[in-house]
Amino acid sequence: MPTNILMPALSPTMEKGKLAKWLKKEGDSVKSGDILAEIETDKATMEVEAVDEGTVGKILVAEGTDEVAVNTPIAVLLGEGESASDIKAPAAAAPKPAAAPAPKAEPAKAEAPAPAKAEAPKPQAAPATAPAGKANGHGGGRVFASPLARRIAKEKGIDLGALQGSGPHGRIVLKDVETAKPGAKAPAAAPGVAAPMADDAIAKLYEPGSYEVVPHDGMRKIIAQRLLQAKQTIPHFYLSISCDLENLLAVRERLNAHAPRDKEKNPVWKLSVNDFIIKALALSLQRVPDANATWTDGGMLKHKHSDVGVAVAVEGGLFTPVIRKAETKTLSAISLEMKDLATRARKRRLAPQEYQGGTTAVSNLGMYGIENFAAVINPPHATILAVGAGEKKAVVVDDKIEIRTQMACTLSVDHRAVDGALGAQLLQAFKAFIEEPALMMA
């Protein structure tokens, strides 16, 4: 029977996307590996590969369509001996992505799972436990408790909705009931965050015709959501330090002078100050491993490797591609990888796994002449290093005033995961690597 081609999920959190362009039209023959369409999300443009051979029998979603839900049928593929008369109305989409043609980031090509057939999806079972922050029935929701806790609470006349569970995902367990007082009432709801000004209220502050409304694209919406989440849920504090760059600049110049050459006599790589910063931060997290952490309500994630995200400005927003296991890579390898990631980021051609995750991040505005700034932590990271411009300044060295190149750095820290002294140790380690770059090669 005809096979539905479904809207793929380009990342675990993707719910909708834009069908930007069809590269096949109705009646076209398709072979496994052929590119069918381009899909846009807030972050990237990806390609959908065909898995099976056949003919495009019907296109269900026109190109340029926004807000196409994941797992929605977007086209029908006819097999050998099938015709358009065999096409039936597509089944409703499942709430979560089923097997579908795999998205693919240019230029890599990967095998994809077979597309799901046009069958009605089975309903998914409800979770056995409450999600974090939504258990215990506060606000009229369902109460999640163990059977024993329910029985003892009934015997003691305790309202389970008044208790805060200490079990997994906020589940109420026997200990919570035993320590509760009979007749306890549910706590009053905490005051909510003040609502922002309404759009029309803001617009009334300006003269009609003195502005134009530019709708937000997907990237800007996601950036706004994540920054709001970061500032509302992560208790930031900031540590600043000044690093001397004289040794680093001298080492960088010597290494670049000895870079291997290609057939056209051009250097194969050219190290930037940012490459040294990435490597130094990665090694610092290895030297101060307790700072290489991520906060979760259930426990601290202590990372074994230093996966360093690097903010890259693109039109309309930014990406943070990640250098994985940066502590294990040479400066030249980091330089080449970063150049490739930044180039593809500006074209919105990164795969989700190339910009998701990471254990920390670097935001460098030194090339814009910014002396000092503090960055907003990118969840789920616990730190982000803001780097300013290297500037010639008068400093005291061995009781003498000298003119030396100084670089101001500010570490933004999630106080839940990293305390002040620990953050200070991390910055001290970073400063040591920057001021004596030979340590990075030891």
Return the active site residues.
415
Distances (CA, A) of 300 to 217, 288, 290: 34, 15, 10
Q: What is the spatial distance between Cα 39 and Cα 68, in angstroms, rounded to a whole number?
A: 10
Q: Which of 105, 4, 124, 107 is nearest to 52 (CA)?
A: 4
Q: Which residue has the tokens 């209220």?
A: 201
Token pair for 286: 């290895």
Q: Which of 71, 46, 16 is nearest to 353 (CA)?
A: 46
3-state secondary structure of 155: helix
Q: Are 313 and 328 in contact (CB under 8 A)?
A: no
Token pair for 264: 């056209």
Q: Are 8 and 100 in contact (CB under 8 A)?
A: yes
CB atoms closer than 10 angstroms to residue 47: 21
Distances (CA, A) of 354 to 10, 55, 258, 357: 12, 33, 30, 8
Q: Which of 381, 113, 395 is nearest to 243 (CA)?
A: 395
Q: What is the spatial distance between Cα 220 and Cα 314, in angstroms, rounded to a whole number?
A: 11
Strand partners, 226: none
Q: Which of 257, 242, 272, 276 is nearest to 392 (CA)?
A: 242
Residues 6+ apart with CB under 8 A from 437: 247, 248, 251, 252, 276, 280
Q: Which of 54, 65, 114 is nearest to 87 (CA)?
A: 54
CB atoms closer than 10 angstroms to residue 29: 10
